[in-house]
């Protein structure tokens, strides 16, 4: 079981008691994200749509790799890894 | 006695506070910075709800006992994947003696029997036999107003934009369209009782069957719970507009006519509220203190409110970010401090 840090965008900080990062444990990326939502259930509303997948404009990175580039989230995580939640912004 | 005015915008909420004189206001905010604040209301225990929404992060319900500390509800209104619908926005909160309701986009109604901690779908409405021919208007496919009968909480009304008004006699299990007498905006080939674009509804607190309706096609009134509607536009420069508000004590009605659905601006560039003191029989303009030249803002359907005092306070927010307030039942107006983003919702809460 690895201990990883999840970085939270400022607009969602209110959902996690004002914090910008949360530490969770898991063996895989999928487990770590599930642990995050167990810890802060309201966060699940904002990260996932009705289908249970990441919302269209929510980006999630494991270290420097976007989950959109992954076939699945069952990839191992290690102590000190970072999961970053970002708002996908484009256009002007 | 204090009055709290919660102003919801596309980028957060703002809270004005005043005493009963309503002459001096303090301003707090932004609350929920970066979020749309789309609706607010009271719960059954005197607490408060706010609905927030984001194009990125979805929809949530926030609760507060004191309008200072807020907590997000974990089991708010949410469509299932099987429904095929998307939760875009909460448009309204309503309460009966024992239940809370939330009207949402995509059109549906959710209810809570536990004070607002968990919300479940009122299946009868979004499962209505006509659902396949419901289509959104400019404002989306939104269930934006819910009324109930204080003498029989199982009698409910729900207004859905570009669809029409529905009434339930059994607590939401079944619903019937109630739009006869109103002109349609879009006629379906088969479903002739759908295609009515209700913008706002208010109800006589002593007679639930008397309801006033600001509709896309004009101003209407029913005296029989919606079985039949009559047009009531005597004195209005235009039947088109979005909000309608009712002062519970004085029975004064307020609306903001706009120039047609093509233009959606104050008629002749004059910002005027219209008031009726005879149940909609006639309407008089109120303009003292409101801009009377080059006023081209809009007022959205959720952006007008009346408080419970006498004389009533009347408040509205504009699409260009100004809040106007009257402490004398609409006779005179002043802009409150601040220039805000586009205003989506305004609610007035009186605290004793």
- The domains located in chain B, with CATH, are 35-198 (2.130.10.10)
Q: Which helix (H) or strand (E) holds A36?
A: helix A29-39
Residues in chain B: 352
pLDDT value for B352: 85
Query: Counting beta carbons within 10 angstroms of the beta carbon of residue B97, is it exposed (0 to 12), middle (13 to 18) or buried (19 or more)?
Result: exposed
pLDDT value for B283: 98
pTM exceeds cut of 0.90: yes
pLDDT value for B257: 98
ipTM tops 0.90 = yes
Residue A37 lies in a domain: yes
Judged by DSSP in three states, B2 sits in: strand
User: Does A92 score more than 70 pLDDT?
Assistant: no
- Domain CATH for A20: 3.10.20.30
Between B60, B74, B80, which is nearest A50 by CB? B80
Residue B56 gets the label, from left (phi > 0), alpha (psi -120 to 50) or beta, of alpha
Q: Please name every residue paired with B53 in a beta bridge, in sequence order, or none if there are none.
A: B36, B59
Are the C-beta atoms of B62 and B50 separated by less than 8 Å? Answer: yes
Contact A50 B79 (CB under 8 A): yes
* R_g over Cα of chain A: 12
What is the residue range of A6's domain?
2-87
Q: Which of B335, B306, B333 is nearest to B318 (CA)?
A: B335
* R_g over Cα of chain B: 19
The fraction of chain A above a pLDDT of 70, given in percent, is 97
Residue A43 lies in a domain: yes
Residue A92 lies in a domain: no
pLDDT value for A89: 75
- Rounded to whole angstroms, how far apart are CA atoms B281 and B215? 16
Residue B217 gets the label, from left (phi > 0), alpha (psi -120 to 50) or beta, of alpha
Q: Please name every residue paired with B16 in a beta bridge, in sequence order, or none if there are none.
A: B5, B27
pLDDT value for A23: 97
pLDDT value for A90: 66
Residue A16 lies in a domain: yes
CA-based nearest residue in chain A for residue B78 = A50
User: Does A38 score more than 80 pLDDT?
Assistant: yes
- Rounded to whole angstroms, how far apart are CA atoms A83 and A52? 18
Chain B residues whose beta carbon lies within 8 Å of the beta carbon of residue A50? 78-81, 83, 85-87
How many structural domains are present in chain A?
1
Residue A40 lies in a domain: yes
| Contacting B residues, span 9-68, partner chain A, CB-CB under 8 Å | 32-35, 54-60
Chain B residues whose beta carbon lies within 8 Å of the beta carbon of residue A88? 56
Residue A59 lies in a domain: yes
User: Chunked in runs of 10, what are the mean pLDDT values of chain B (352 residues)?
Assistant: 97 98 97 97 93 96 95 95 95 95 97 95 97 90 97 97 97 98 93 96 97 98 98 98 96 96 94 98 98 97 96 97 98 98 98 88
pLDDT value for A91: 63
- Alpha helix stretches (DSSP H) within B204-299: 260-263
> Strand A82-87 relative to strand A2-7: parallel, antiparallel, unpaired?
parallel
């Amino acid at each position: 079981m690895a201990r990883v840090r999840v970085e939270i965008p400022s607009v969602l900080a209110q959902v996690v008691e004002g914090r910008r990062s949360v530490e969770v444990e898991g063996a895989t990326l999928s487990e770590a994200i599930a642990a995050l939502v167990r810890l802060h259930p309201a966060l699940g509303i904002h990260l996932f749509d009705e289908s249970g997948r990441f919302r269209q404009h929510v980006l999630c990175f494991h270290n420097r790799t976007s989950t959109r580039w992954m076939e699945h989230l069952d990839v191992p995580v290690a102590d000190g890894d970072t999961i970053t939640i970002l708002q996908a912004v484009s256009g002007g | 006695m204090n009055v709290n005015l919660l102003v919801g915008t596309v980028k957060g909420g703002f809270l004005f506070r005043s005493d009963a004189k309503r002459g001096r206001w303090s301003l707090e905010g932004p609350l929920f910075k970066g979020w749309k604040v789309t609706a607010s209301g009271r719960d059954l225990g005197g607490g408060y709800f706010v609905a927030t929404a984001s194009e990125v992060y979805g929809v949530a319900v926030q609760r507060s006992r004191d309008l200072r500390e807020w907590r997000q509800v974990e089991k708010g209104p949410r469509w299932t994947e099987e429904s095929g619908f998307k939760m875009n926005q909460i448009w309204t909160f309503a309460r009966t003696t024992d239940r809370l309701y939330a009207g949402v986009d995509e059109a549906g109604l959710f209810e809570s029997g536990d004070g607002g901690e968990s919300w479940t779908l009122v299946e009868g409405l979004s499962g209505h036999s006509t659902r396949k021919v419901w289509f959104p208007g400019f404002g989306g496919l939104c269930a934006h107003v819910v009324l109930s009968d204080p003498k029989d909480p199982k009698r409910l009304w729900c207004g859905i934009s570009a669809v029409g008004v529905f009434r339930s006699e059994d607590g939401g299990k079944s619903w019937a369209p109630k739009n006869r007498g109103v002109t349609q905006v879009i006629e379906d080939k088969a479903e002739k009782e759908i295609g009515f674009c209700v913008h706002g509804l208010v109800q006589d607190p002593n007679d639930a069957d008397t309801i006033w309706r600001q509709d896309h096609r004009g101003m209407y009134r029913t005296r029989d719970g919606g079985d039949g509607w009559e047009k009531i536009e005597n004195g209005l420069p235009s039947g088109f507009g979005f909000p309608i508000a009712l002062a519970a004590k004085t029975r004064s009605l307020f609306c903001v006519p706009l120039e047609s659905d093509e233009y959606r601006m104050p008629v002749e560039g004059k910002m005027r509220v219209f008031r009726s003191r005879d149940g909609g029989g006639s309407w008089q303009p109120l303009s003292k203190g409101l801009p009377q030249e080059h006023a081209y803002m809009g007022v959205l359907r959720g952006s007008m409110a009346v408080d419970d005092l006498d004389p009533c306070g009347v408040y509205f927010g504009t699409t260009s970010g100004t809040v106007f307030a009257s402490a004398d039942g609409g006779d005179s107006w002043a802009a409150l401090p601040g220039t805000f983003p586009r205003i989506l919702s305004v609610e007035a809460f009186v605290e004793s």
